[in-house]
A and B are shown apart, each in its own frame.
Chain A
Amino acid sequence: DTGVSQNPRHKITKRGQNVTFRCDPISEHNRLYWYRQTLGQGPEFLTYFQNEAQLEKSRLLSDRFSAERPKGSFSTLEIQRTEQGDSAMYLCASSPGASYGYTFGSGTRLTVV
Chain B
Amino acid sequence: GQQLNQSPQSMFIQEGEDVSMNCTSSSIFNTWLWYKQDPGEGPVLLIALYKAGELTSNGRLTAQFGITRKDSFLNISASIPSDVGIYFCAGQGGSGYALNFGKGTSLLVTP
Which residues of A pack against B, CB within 8 Å?
Answer: 4, 31, 33, 35, 40-45, 48, 50, 56, 58, 91, 93, 95, 97-107, 109
Contacts and interface: CB of A to CB of B under 8 A. Distances in A.
Interface string B30-51: 0101010000111111001010
B103 A40 contact: yes
B63 interface: no
Contacts of B100: 45
Contacts, number: 69
A80 B101 CA distance: 27
A31, A40, A50: residue with the most chain B Cβ atoms closer than 10 Å: A40
Interface residues of B, number: 26
Interface stretch (B53-61, B66-74, B88-96): B88-96
Interface string B84-111: 0000101010011011111110000000
Given A41-B103, A101-B48, A33 B98 contact: yes
Given A42-B104, A100-B31, A101-B92, A106 B40 contact: yes
Contact of A106 (B42, B88, B104): B42
Interface of B: 1, 4, 6, 31, 33, 35, 40-45, 48, 50, 88, 90, 92, 95-96, 98-104
